[in-house]
Amino acid sequence: MAIVNLKNVTYKYPLTDTLVLDGINLQIEEGEFVAVVGPNGAGKSTLCYMLAGFVPHFYKGELTGTVEVAGVETQESSLNEWVMNVGLAFQNPFNQISGAKYTVFEEIAFGLENIGVPRKDMKERVERALEMTGILDLAERSPYSLSGGQQQRVALTSILVMEPKVLVLDEPTSQMDPIGTREVFGVIRTMAERGMTVVLAEHKMEWIAQFADRVIALHEGKILLDGKPGEVLTSELLDGKGFGISRYTSTAREAQEQSLWPNNKNLPVTLDEAVEGFTPNPSPSPLKGEGS
């Protein structure tokens, strides 16, 4: 039984005529790490908001088809029940800080206070979450005194602490510098290793290829491709549609044309794969696990 189940979903924002999502069918199994890629305006964010319940409960608009998460249908549920099952984090870390709390510890406890978790459990859960995302050292700092990457990790932690069944991340690193990106993906890696169900909309192909079990390519509100990262991210179907292609893929494609890339190998998305392909006698890569 899939934990996320979308059947024939179409959606229009209020006062518009274009379908932002058009005939989406999508099943996500528990524990799966799904990445959503697509050019701007493809409907990635809308899909994220839909999974998180903000479409249609917050943005209204016209939704047809069925959206089901953890066996509950979105139209039959309310937003404040829905958020107990699905956690959402998005781009701007600054706007995700509640502004009602003075320390990171309090900030992370905010969600638990709202849903009435007893004080004793609250402290334990906050500490556990801080440890998991590696920001225990920031606990007593003001959330506003942190860097973008740190703030985004606080935002992720404050969602994780609520123990959602599905975690939706809408381009969590799009406003980060390389250091911030690495910090945030460090947290995402932990979640992937723990077998959480994650839906991640993201542009950075090299990172996606490292974590995702499955990649969905969205284009103009429709699912263009759905499959393994190695296949989807290197597919020629993505050409000329505004999908970002990893530099390793484009280099290898160029090499392939000049017969420098081995025929029996898929095109690479990450540095490791590229190194492996370009090395004449494959030996264990010394750069394994280095990230991008």
Partner 1 sequence: MCRRRKYLLLHFSLQVRFTMNLDRSFYVPAKSILHSLNPLTKLTLVFALISFAFFSFPWMAPVLILPVFIMGFVGKVQKQYLNVFAKLILPAIGFMFIMQSLFLPGGETLVFKFSIFDIYTETIRTAFLTVSRIFVMISSFTLLLLTTHPSELMSDLTGRGLPGQFAYVIISTLQIIPQMQAKAQTIIAAQRSRGLDTQSTFRKRVGALVPLVGPLVFGSLVEVEERAIAIEARGFTSNRTKTSLYEIPDSSFDKALRWVLVLLVIISIVSRIWLS
Phi, psi of 211 (to 5 degrees): -110, -35
Dihedral angle sign, alpha carbons of residues 146, 149, 150, 154: positive
What does the alpha-carbon distance between residue 117 and residue 24 come to, in Å, rounded to a whole number? 36
Residue 16 as a binder of partner 1 (CB under 8 A): the answer is no
- Of the two residues 162 and 215, which places its CB atom closer to partner 1 in the complex? 162
Q: Strand, coil or helix: what is 96?
A: helix
- Of the two residues 135 and 215, which places its CB atom closer to partner 1 in the complex? 135
Residue 44, CA atoms < 13 Å, CB-side half-sphere:
26
Residue 119 as a binder of partner 1 (CB under 8 A): the answer is yes
Phi, psi of 233 (to 5 degrees): -70, -15
Site for partner 1 in 156-215 (CB under 8 A): 158-159, 162
Minimum Å gap between C-beta 134 and partner 1 is 21
What does the alpha-carbon distance between residue 133 and residue 291 come to, in Å, rounded to a whole number? 18
Residue 251 as a binder of partner 1 (CB under 8 A): the answer is no
Minimum Å gap between C-beta 35 and partner 1 is 20
Instruction: Lay out the site mask for partner 1 across 60-99 (x = CB under 8 A, - = otherwise).
Output: -------------------xx--xx--xxxx-x-xxxxxx
Q: What stretch of H or E contains 110?
A: helix 104-114
Contact residues for partner 1, defined by CB under 8 A: 49, 52, 54, 58, 79-80, 83-84, 87-90, 92, 94-103, 105-106, 109-119, 122-123, 126, 142, 144-145, 155, 158-159, 162
